[in-house]
Amino acid sequence: MRDPYGLPLTASPAAADRYVAGLGRILRVRSGAETLVAEAVAADPQFALGQAVLALLGAEWGADVDVETALRDAQRHAGRADERERRFIEVVAARIREPGAGSAAALLSYIQAYPEDALAVSIAVPTIAFSGATEIPAEAWALVEGLAAVYRDDWWYRGLLAFTRQEQENWDEAAELAALALAVEPTAGHAVHAKTHVHYETGDHEAGLAWLDAWISTSGSDSSQRAHFAWHAALHELALGDDNAARARFSAQLSPPAVSGVRALIDSASLLWRGVAAGAWTSVELGPVLETVPAALLVDPPTPFVGLHSAVALAAAGDCRRLAQLRRSAAARTSAVFTDTVAPLADALMHLVHGDPDRATDALLALPGVERLGGSAAQREIVEDTTIYCAIQANRPEIARSLLQTRLDRRRSPRDMRRRAQLLTEQHTAHSSRHE
């Protein structure tokens, strides 16, 4: 028995069949993968690789899995597996129990030995599906580009390469690769994600919103990351100034209990704050969203990317106590991204919560290493949104206008154009008043 890329599977035919179906859903970023992998393990309880993947989905996708039990079962039955499967089990165990540079290096070493393992590659590349094995985008790009000879014109690989190309701001090639992948596999999640980013980053908001809405309601109806695609659609609506549509989308597609846990933090809470920062609405009630997020995730986040969103959400909720806890947790880490970026970000937002947007503006402008927080440029843009908001609150319109202009030079946005024009009008009015 073999997986779709020819790697042997030490499992019964029935178990292998269910596992391959589950793997297909993981690679497409579709829901239901954990159910299929669980069925594979039920069909062959000694299928060690299946147990390890089940543990991985519990740890990284939030699947309803007893992670430790699945991991122990994987290790207990590893003697039956082949060498490749045993190494993968070791990689998963290290990633779950000892996350950090060591486990990341082990994963990359495994991929070097077994480049045909599309699941391992998916885990290593920070995308919509997994957090990746590096905080440095160029390293992830090199990994994906280095696999071209292995995967050639495979639809999954083209989608992953398309996402890489959009991160490199090579919009045309990203769009072409995404289209090629989607022509073969309309549910290809990475290709959809790449195309979605191309629409947003090139300011093609009307077409991007129309296409994304159509995909969400058809091929994407069972996407495991449906909430994230809804978040992308809401960003288009905010950019277009359709605030009522953005709020309606939040209520229908991004509010608890439909979205919970880390996705509620990264998609739901961030959207509510971005609406405030953009002037789409004046206040938000974040309590119901944050109640769905594990407490430890907010004050002791596993990655700088989660730390970014925890800091913003806690500040938006006015939660000084837990924001201070997050700051202490980040400052105590060994990771430079936590100590040099997440901790100062929490400090800056503390100034805002305490009613000093002037100091918050200065602290945010001086914040180093935002690009190393992980995630996409569209997600990290929340720092820029917050800086613009703080500058306006501090009555420093020249800073807000400069940031908006820089962004408009990069990407069209009807909302940003109106905000820049309004700030310019207010500045001229204030200047005239001073000289009367």
Q: How far apart are the first and last CA of the chain?
A: 84
> DSSP code of 31?
T
Tens digits of residue pLDDT in 244-276: 999 999 999 999 999 999 899 999 999 999 999
Tens digits of residue pLDDT in 52-67: 999 999 988 878 899 9
Integer Cα distance of 425 and 399 in angstroms? 15
Tens digits of residue pLDDT in 77-94: 999 999 999 999 999 999
Please report, rounded to a whole number, the percentage of residues in the chain having pLDDT higher than 90. Answer: 84
pLDDT at residue 433 tops 70: no
Q: Give the confidence band of 38 by pLDDT, cuts at 50, 70, 90.
A: very high
Are 18 and 40 contacting, i.e. CB atoms less than 8 angstroms apart? yes
pLDDT at 224: 84
Residue 52 corresponds to which tokens in the numbers above?
Answer: 């390890």
CA proximity to 211, closest of 231, 189, 233, 235: 233
pLDDT at residue 195 tops 90: yes
pLDDT at residue 134 tops 90: no
With the CA atoms of 393, 394, 399 and 400 taken in that order, what torsion angle do they form, in degrees rounded to the nearest 10?
0
pLDDT at residue 222 tops 90: no
pLDDT at 424: 87
Provide mean pLDDT across the span 333-361. Answer: 96
Provide mean pLDDT across the span 14-41. Answer: 96
Q: How far is CA 378 from CA 112, 149, 202, 346, in A?
A: 31, 30, 12, 20
Tens digits of residue pLDDT in 288-303: 999 999 999 999 998 8
Q: Give the confidence band of 128 by pLDDT, cuts at 50, 70, 90.
A: confident
pLDDT at 436: 55
Say whether the peptide bond before residue 13 is cis (omega within 30 degrees of 0): no
Integer Cα distance of 275 and 281 in angstroms? 6
Q: Give the confidence band of 429 by pLDDT, cuts at 50, 70, 90.
A: low
pLDDT at 255: 95
Tens digits of residue pLDDT in 159-180: 999 999 999 999 999 999 999 9
CA neighbours closer than 13 Å in the CB half-sphere of residue 305: 23
Q: How far is CA 198 from CA 91, 201, 268, in A?
A: 33, 5, 22
What pTM does this model have? Answer: 0.91
> DSSP code of 267?
I
Q: Give the confidence band of 428 by pLDDT, cuts at 50, 70, 90.
A: low
pLDDT at 151: 97
Integer Cα distance of 342 and 329 in angstroms? 10
Provide mean pLDDT across the span 380-399. Answer: 96
pLDDT at residue 135 tops 70: yes
Is residue 8 helix, strand or coil?
strand
Are 174 and 166 contacting, i.e. CB atoms less than 8 angstroms apart? yes
**Which residue is associated with the tokens 């009008």?**
425
Please state which of the ranges 54-68, 316-330, 387-401 shows the lowest mean pLDDT.
Answer: 54-68
Provide mean pLDDT across the span 354-382. Answer: 94
Provide mean pLDDT across the span 22-46. Answer: 96
Are 163 and 127 contacting, i.e. CB atoms less than 8 angstroms apart? yes
CA proximity to 406, closest of 424, 388, 429, 430: 388
Please report, rounded to a whole number, the percentage of residues in the chain having pLDDT higher than 70. Answer: 98
pLDDT at 404: 96
pLDDT at residue 434 tops 90: no
Tell me the average pLDDT of the chain.
Answer: 94
pLDDT at residue 374 tops 90: no
